[in-house]
């Protein structure tokens, strides 16, 4: 049995196009914000200040922005082409899956780091040197 493609209706295409446009805007904003933060990080390093957090945030914004923009192109192709809606939908969903996989693991890493910091703080408060004033 041959693969048959599904075609979305005009109203569905309009919704998909709006989603694609919003995703392009958000992705572009994230990339530009990441570049601006990257410049701020370079400036901080040049002035002898710590810019690691700015650098990390800049990289994360650029990466998530590029993935978001990539997914938006898949959604846009659904509206622009005929006969390949499901194929383009799956391309867009695959890009979104990659984006959310990155965000999922970043959240896990963040929670682990927060947990370690809380444990260190707790042990320091319980077993650290006691000062009385």
Q: Are 41 and 58 in contact (CB under 8 A)?
A: yes
pLDDT in tens, 26-57: 999 999 999 999 999 999 999 988 888 899 99
The pTM of the full predicted model, rounded to 2 decimals, is 0.77
Instruction: Quote the crossing angle between the two packed helices 52-80 and 85-127, to the nearest 10°.
Output: 160
Closest listed residue to residue 65, CA positions, set 53, 57, 54:
57
- pLDDT, residue 128, reads 80
Closest listed residue to residue 107, CA positions, set 52, 60, 41:
60
- The pLDDT > 70 percentage for the chain reads 96
């Amino acid at each position: 049995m041959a693969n048959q493609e599904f075609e979305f209706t005009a109203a569905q295409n309009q919704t998909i196009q709006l989603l694609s446009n919003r995703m392009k805007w958000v992705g572009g904003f994230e990339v530009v914000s990441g570049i601006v933060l990257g410049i701020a990080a370079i400036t901080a390093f040049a002035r002898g200040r710590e810019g690691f957090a700015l650098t990390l945030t800049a990289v994360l914004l650029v990466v998530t922005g590029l993935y978001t923009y990539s997914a938006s192109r898949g959604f846009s192709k659904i509206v622009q082409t005929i006969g390949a809606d499901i194929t383009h939908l799956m391309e867009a969903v695959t890009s979104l899956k990659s984006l959310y996989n990155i965000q999922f693991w970043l959240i896990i890493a963040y929670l682990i780091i927060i947990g370690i910091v809380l444990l260190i703080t707790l042990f320091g408060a319980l077993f650290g040197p006691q000062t009385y004033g």
